[in-house]
């Protein structure tokens, strides 16, 4: 894998530039209408992890389907074992066929008192630096982001009556709760979603004015362990010293997972890892990444990861083990002198290419069992996992997307990694054989999953314009087949 740009982007056949400019002009002139639609969408409290919001999730799915039907897509709401999935198609061009993915569900809003305004009543807030923030739950993750693509399609349709390439879309309503319906849905409807490449918009800019395409995602493994010792809570005076304390046992087990330099100490944890080639590693190290500022932004001064690697490598290219929660005994008001009977912890692993979630789960559980003392029982609960994803940096589609982004942002887009996981990238690759192009316009301060989530109005606007250009650039196929819009510079120019 290399981070270098592929210079061979093929023969240029596609949409004339003057037509692209006309579509861009339509998007600019109708930005307020696009914002109005975004506000309608944001007012729907489509919280997926709370079953009481299932009607609102279905309402959000119906809203998307109605909007897509209104611009000529064959759109439908598909039932699943959980929240519905929206599927839409517009296949009338001669060029490539792309599949666009997004999610309409959002995170809960608690703590509500930490919000400056109603999280489901979006507002525009002007900032001292001249930016305007769209503030609402889901503004950036992922409603504002996915709508940039829909609004780009809307402008193409309004100006020309057509899209320059074939486009299918699917939107799920369970991404924020682990996508439990996704794999079954893809197994049932996979052939319908076959395309040349998948596009998604749930990622970040590299800098506020520097676009990025994310080509590396870490995988994830989520485990809960519960340690039980005595058959009941015990009086710490009557049984102290004599009885094992499951909190202490759990603490010792947790401590055994990491070494002095931050490395994971599970036997075989690093086996089969596909190391980056030297060219890619050098390209990462050359990126303008301010490690001190990154840590300072979180109130930290030094990295706790494997010191053999830079911080950027640690969060993009190296596997990790983190304790996400721990509980046991009495932790309410006052004091209760007990030796509790149980203690539990939630532990997650971020995985890299070459690490199989099932194999890592087995190694982790073997590690814990081997160190669990007598008179103690351990119970494991799995919350699922997914493999890492690495996207080819030499894809023609990637090269064309980079060219389009350079036109819009007037700078070279950056190829980056992500410490987080987008499971659908790996699932779609394994189920449908599709590579992905994750191109997002969020900023690092958008407060995803936190109170006062925001999306910069400039990100929303530039996102629409970027997708307009990307759709045009993707129509320039290497086969020499003309786009449906090749040479067509007339249109309806309707709102």
Bridge partners for 220 per DSSP: 350, 386
Cα separation, 221 vs 348, whole angstroms: 6
Q: What is the mean pLDDT of the chain?
A: 91
Q: What is the pLDDT of residue 9?
A: 40
Q: Is 379 helix (H, G, I), strand (E, B) or coil?
A: strand
Cα separation, 387 vs 355, whole angstroms: 7
**pLDDT average, residue stretch 204-227:** 94
Is the per-residue pLDDT at 116 higher than 60? yes
Bridge partners for 456 per DSSP: 133
Predicted confidence band of residue 278 (pLDDT cuts 50, 70, 90): confident
**H runs (alpha helix) in 190-260:** 236-239, 246-255
**Helix H or strand E encompassing 286:** helix 278-286
Q: What is the pLDDT of residue 319?
A: 95
Token readout for 248 is 């202490």
- CA-closest candidate to residue 275, choices 303, 308, 304: 308
Token readout for 475 is 């129509």
Is the per-residue pLDDT at 341 higher than 70? yes
- CA-closest candidate to residue 364, choices 317, 308, 322: 322
Q: What is the pLDDT of residue 10?
A: 37
**pLDDT average, residue stretch 25-49:** 98
**pLDDT average, residue stretch 221-240:** 96
What's the pTM?
A: 0.84
Cα separation, 274 vs 278, whole angstroms: 12
CB 75 within 8 A of CB 65: yes
**pLDDT average, residue stretch 254-264:** 94
Q: What is the pLDDT of residue 65?
A: 98
DSSP 356: -
CB atoms within 10 A of CB 418: 21
Predicted confidence band of residue 236 (pLDDT cuts 50, 70, 90): very high
Give the orientation angle of helix 54-70 with respect to helix 31-42, to 10 degrees: 160
- Kindly give the pairing relationship between strand 166-172 and strand 97-103: parallel
- CA-closest candidate to residue 175, choices 101, 110, 115, 120: 101
**pLDDT average, residue stretch 10-38:** 89
pLDDT digits (tens, 9 = 90+) for 363-373: 999 999 999 99
DSSP 140: T
- CA-closest candidate to residue 284, choices 321, 315, 319, 330: 315
Cα separation, 72 vs 28, whole angstroms: 21
Going from the C-alpha of 107 to that of each of 136, 171, 325, 447, 449, the distances in angstroms are: 11, 16, 19, 12, 6
Is the per-residue pLDDT at 12 higher than 70? no
Based on its alpha-carbon atoms, the radius of gyration of the chain, rounded to whole angstroms, reads: 25
397: Cα within 13 Å, side-chain hemisphere? 22
Domains of the chain are: 17-215+392-474 (3.40.630.10), 219-273+319-386 (3.30.70.360)
**pLDDT average, residue stretch 73-78:** 98
Percent of the chain residues past pLDDT 70, beyond the cut = 94
Q: What share of the chain is helix, strand, coil (3-state, %, to 5)?
A: 35, 20, 45
Predicted confidence band of residue 115 (pLDDT cuts 50, 70, 90): very high
**Helix H or strand E encompassing 472:** helix 457-474
Q: Which residue bears the tokens 């510079």?
A: 489
Angle at Cα 168 formed by Cα 94 and Cα 171, nearest 5°? 170
Is the per-residue pLDDT at 325 higher than 70? yes
pLDDT digits (tens, 9 = 90+) for 197-212: 999 999 999 999 999 9
- What region, left, alpha or beta, does residue 489 occupy, with left being phi > 0 and alpha being psi -120 to 50 degrees? alpha
Q: What is the pLDDT of residue 422?
A: 85
Predicted confidence band of residue 487 (pLDDT cuts 50, 70, 90): very low
Cα separation, 442 vs 133, whole angstroms: 12
Q: What is the pLDDT of residue 178?
A: 82
Q: What is the pLDDT of residue 454?
A: 98
User: Can you spell out the DSSP letters for 414-449?
Assistant: EEEEESS--HHHHHHHHHH---EEE---B-TTS-TT
DSSP 239: H
**pLDDT average, residue stretch 412-427:** 89
Predicted confidence band of residue 395 (pLDDT cuts 50, 70, 90): confident
Is the per-residue pLDDT at 483 higher than 50? no
Q: Which residues of 1-12 are buried (b: 16+ CB within 10 A; e: fewer)?
A: bebebbeebeee
Cα separation, 169 vs 152, whole angstroms: 13
Token readout for 156 is 């193409």
- CA-closest candidate to residue 410, choices 454, 462, 484, 448: 462
Cα separation, 126 vs 136, whole angstroms: 14
Bridge partners for 455 per DSSP: 134
């Amino acid at each position: 894998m290399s981070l270098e740009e592929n210079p061979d982007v093929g023969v240029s056949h596609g949409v004339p530039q003057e037509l692209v400019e006309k579509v861009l002009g339509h998007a600019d002139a109708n930005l307020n209408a696009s914002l109005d639609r975004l506000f309608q969408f944001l007012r729907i409290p489509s919280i997926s992890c709370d079953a009481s919001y299932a009607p609102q999730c279905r309402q959000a799915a119906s809203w998307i389907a109605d909007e897509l039907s209104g611009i000529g897509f064959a759109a439908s709401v598909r039932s699943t074992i959980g929240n519905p999935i929206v599927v839409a198609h517009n296949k009338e061009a001669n060029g490539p066929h792309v599949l666009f993915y997004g999610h309409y569900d959002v995170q809960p809003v608690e703590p509500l008192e930490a919000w400056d305004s109603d999280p489901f009543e979006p507002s525009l807030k002007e900032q001292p630096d001249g930016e305007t923030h769209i503030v609402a739950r889901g503004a950036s993750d992922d409603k504002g982001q996915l709508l940039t693509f829909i609004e780009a399609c809307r402008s193409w349709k309004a100006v020309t009556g057509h899209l320059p390439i074939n486009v299918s879309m699917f939107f799920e309503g369970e991404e924020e709760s682990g996508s439990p319906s996704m794999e079954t849905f893809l197994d049932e409807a996979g052939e319908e979603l076959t395309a040349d490449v998948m596009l998604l918009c749930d990622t970040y800019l590299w800098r506020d004015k520097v676009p990025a395409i994310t080509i590396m995602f870490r995988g994830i493994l989520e485990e809960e362990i519960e340690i039980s010792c005595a058959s009941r809570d015990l009086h710490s005076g009557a049984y102290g010293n004599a009885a094992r304390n499951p909190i202490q046992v759990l603490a010792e087990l947790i401590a055994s997972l990491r070494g002095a330099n931050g490395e994971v100490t599970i036997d075989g944890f690093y086996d089969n890892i596909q190391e980056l080639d030297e060219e890619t590693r050098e390209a990462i190290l050359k990126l303008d990444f301010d490690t001190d500022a990154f840590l300072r932004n979180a109130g930290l001064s030094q990295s706790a990861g494997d010191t053999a690697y830079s911080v950027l490598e640690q969060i993009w290219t190296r596997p990790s083990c983190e304790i996400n929660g721990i509980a046991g005994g009495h932790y309410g008001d006052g004091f209760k002198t007990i030796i509790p009977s149980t203690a539990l912890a939630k532990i997650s692993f971020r995985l890299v290419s070459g690490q199989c979630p099932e194999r890592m789960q087995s190694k982790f559980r073997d590690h814990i069992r081997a160190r669990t003392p007598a008179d103690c029982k351990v119970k494991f609960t799995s919350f699922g996992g997914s493999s890492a994803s690495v996207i080819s940096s030499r894809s023609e589609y990637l090269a064309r997307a980079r060219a389009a982004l350079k036109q819009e942002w007037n700078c070279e887009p950056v190829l980056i990694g992500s410490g987080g996981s987008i499971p659908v990238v790996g699932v779609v690759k394994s189920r449908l054989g599709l590579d992905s192009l994750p191109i997002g316009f969020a900023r690092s301060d958008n407060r995803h999953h936190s109170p006062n989530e925001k999306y910069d109005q400039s990100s929303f606007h530039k996102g629409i314009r970027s997708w307009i250009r990307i759709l045009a650039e993707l129509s320039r196929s290497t086969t020499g087949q003309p786009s449906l819009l090749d040479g067509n510079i007339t249109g309806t120019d309707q709102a």
